[in-house]
Structure 1
Amino acid sequence: MNEITTTETRDIILDVTEKLIYKSGIAATGMDLLVKTAGVSRKSVYRYFANKEELVVAALQRRDVRWMQWFKSEVDKASSPADRLLNLFTVLKTWFASDGFRGCAFINTSGETGDPQDPVRLVAKEHKQKLLDYVCELCTEHGAEDPQALARQLLILIDGAITVALLMGDHGAADNAQYMARKLLDL
């Protein structure tokens, strides 16, 4: 019989936590549900994580790394700087149409916290900063006069499209955001 390594156990716990909080939120993801779904003991969870908050933060940090890698690799498939900026929204539209799309995990979980210094909120803020930095890089490559300002405007279009796609069930929100981006970019 194969023994599961400690790394595998930790990864299983994080994978299940991420899936549960993305599907139903932090509050709805109790430790009993997590233990049952992951097929591990409560003791195993607490071996790796001091409390639920630490577990949620670790799961979100992993999601951040994976999501940003995926998003950048897809966006960067476009050839020119202008095309990469427009591709931001094409990639979002594909994501919106995927099975299990539940919006932005970072916006969703931030909505469950009231304190701006809450560790969950800080992870979400870091994620959005990384996304802003990436969009700013694209704006710089495009030769924007003020890459920071343009990146902030595009981030609003990105997060707005994500929110509209989730709340309204409108996958075309990405097309509308791309249309507005074309206006900002004079394309």
Structure 2
Amino acid sequence: MTLDTETAQRQVLDAADALFYERGVQAVGMDAIRSASGVSLKRLYQLFPSKDRLIEAYLDRRDQLWKSMLAEHVDAATDPRERILAVFEFLHTWFLQRDYRGCAFINSFGELGTVSPRVAELAMQHKEGFRQALGELAAAAGAPDPDRLADHLILLSEGAITRSAISGTADPATRAREAAVLLLDASLPA
């Protein structure tokens, strides 16, 4: 039975997502993706003519997932200050996921950033999108310099992401939230 394009693409991306995130993009070959997805190698290359294209699709998908999960947490809060702190609550929830291996963009950039300008670009776009989202939250909370506050908040967030991946604990999100509270107290109007 031949899978429709949408189903085959989803199965390939599901397999790529799981394998790339768990093992790294360089360690996983197209044969492993074929085996895990159940999609023939010929069909796999019809859908994604190169591994580079598959990596790009994987990162695009991760970006959409990240934005969706972040928005879900932030949108649950109504107070502008609490919306900022919800970012750190989201991080804590994410870090508790059984398969948490850090940020797919940082991981991919670490593996391919110097040899793949496209991976480097996608990582930069993802991180800049996160910084912009933090800037919007800071502006909504009345920060006199929302861009500067966003720069501070992203350093806390990214530090927590990396520290959690290395330590294997969600505690860095809690510590980053505590630091964010101090930062907001110092940065936002009373």
| Length-normalised TM-score, structure 1 | 0.94
- The one-letter code sitting in structure 2 at the alignment partner of 1:131 is F
Structure-1 separation of matches of 2:12 and 2:88: 32
Tell me which residue corresponds to 2:63: 64
Tell me which residue corresponds to 2:86: 87
Count of equivalent residues: 186
Structure-1 separation of matches of 2:112 and 2:2: 38
Q: Which runs of 5+ in 2 are unaligned?
A: none
Structure-2 separation of matches of 1:156 and 1:135: 11
- 1:153 matched to 2:134? The reply is no
The answer (yes or no) to whether the contact 2:73–2:90 under 8 Å persists in 1 is yes
* 1:95-134 map, 5 Å: 95-115=94-114, 118-134=117-133
The answer (yes or no) to whether the contact 1:95–1:101 under 8 Å persists in 2 is yes
Q: Deviations over 1:32-66 (max 9, x none)?
A: 11111111111111101121011110111011012
Identical residues among aligned pairs (%): 38
Q: Which runs of 5+ in 1 are unaligned?
A: none
* 1:9-48 map, 5 Å: 9-48=8-47
Q: Deviations over 1:100-134 (max 9, x none)?
A: 11111111111002427621121111111111111
Tell me which residue corresponds to 1:179: 178
Q: Deviations over 1:50-96 (max 9, x none)?
A: 21011110111011012211111112211201011111111111111
State the Cα RMSD in Å.
1.4
Structure-2 separation of matches of 1:85 and 1:181: 9
Structure-1 separation of matches of 2:7 and 2:113: 33
- The one-letter code sitting in structure 1 at the alignment partner of 2:174 is D
| Length-normalised TM-score, structure 2 | 0.93
The answer (yes or no) to whether the contact 1:116–1:122 under 8 Å persists in 2 is no
Structure-2 separation of matches of 1:69 and 1:121: 22
Structure-2 separation of matches of 1:116 and 1:144: 39
After the TM superposition, list the runs of 4 or more consecutive aligned residues in structure 1 that deviate by more than 4 angstroms: none
Structure-1 separation of matches of 2:178 and 2:82: 13
Structure-1 separation of matches of 2:125 and 2:17: 17
The answer (yes or no) to whether the contact 1:81–1:142 under 8 Å persists in 2 is yes
